[in-house]
A = this chain, B = another copy of it.
Amino acid sequence: MTQQTVNGCMIIIGNEILSGRTQDTNLAHLSRVLNELGVRMAEARVIPDIESVIVTTLNECRKKFDYVFTSGGIGPTHDDITAACIARAFNVELIYHPDIVEVIKRRQAPPEVMESRLLMARVPAGARLIDNPTGGPQGFQMENVFVMAGVPAVMQAMASTLDQDRIKGGLPVRSRSIGAFLGESTVATALSAIQDQHPDVDVGSYPFYRPEGYGTNLVIRGTDEAELERIKEKLRLMITSFGAEPFEPDR
């Protein structure tokens, strides 16, 4: 795709994702949220809870991409080091944000527990908060970096508050899909020709294997809905020209 677009990078912070213990689902969710905001997810990285790795990755990605989104590492335990790492990456102090302190103090706790909970109020100086509709501690934004929770329900709640006032995206990225019980090799040459004719659109093919046979789902992505419809019609004709019946994939 040659079209200039606004891009984003997600940094998933957490040993539990790298060890295979936990299946990440935040990337797919955030990608879909960003599509609607006109931001194309250009890369994602999964990194461990190691300060030097987090700082280096963050500094590399925030220069390279228009927006960076992190998930994970903002809880109250020793392995939650994201806020401190972001302060270090931006070379600013780590402060206790009064608005997060207020949210945390709404729920009473013994002094030692409260002290641990208040660790979640630490943000880099100058950070702007990201609302947390679940009622827990907020996330925060430093320049083009958005720092969110790792627990999917909380991350999704925070992501739901991102809007065009805050994220200046391009046109929303739309997609159309069409499937057929045809092998990828059967459609490869015709598909390549269609991609060449439409360089602004991303034409993808994804094989599937089902009890009733194997086939391919074709997905086109771009910002011009009329063009997507025209290409979908071309794909439909291509499929019937190979003697197969086009169908609408599940998604």
- A residues near B (Cβ < 8 Å) are 15-25, 27-32, 35, 40-49, 53, 75-79, 109, 112-117, 119, 151, 153, 173, 175, 183-189, 191-192, 195, 202-207, 209, 219, 221, 251
A202 → chain B closest CB, angstroms: 6
* Nearest residue, chain B, Cβ from A218: B77
Contacts of A204 in B (CB 8 A): 15-16, 49, 79
Q: Quick check: B42 and A44 within 8 Å, CB to CB?
A: no
A175 → chain B closest CB, angstroms: 7
Chosen A-B contacts, 14 in total, with CB atoms closer than 8 Å, are: A15-B204, A18-B31, A19-B175, A24-B24, A24-B27, A43-B45, A43-B48, A44-B45, A44-B46, A75-B184, A76-B185, A77-B187, A77-B188, A78-B191
Q: Quick check: B16 and A206 within 8 Å, CB to CB?
A: yes
Q: Quick check: A185 and B79 within 8 Å, CB to CB?
A: no
Q: Quick check: B20 and A188 within 8 Å, CB to CB?
A: no
Q: Quick check: A25 and B23 within 8 Å, CB to CB?
A: yes
Contacts of A219 in B (CB 8 A): 16, 21
Residue in B15, B20, B195 whose CB lies within 8 Å of A35: B20
A97 → chain B closest CB, angstroms: 17
* Nearest residue, chain B, Cβ from A120: B185
Known contacts: A27-B24, A75-B207. The answer to whether A18 contacts B45 by CB under 8 A is no
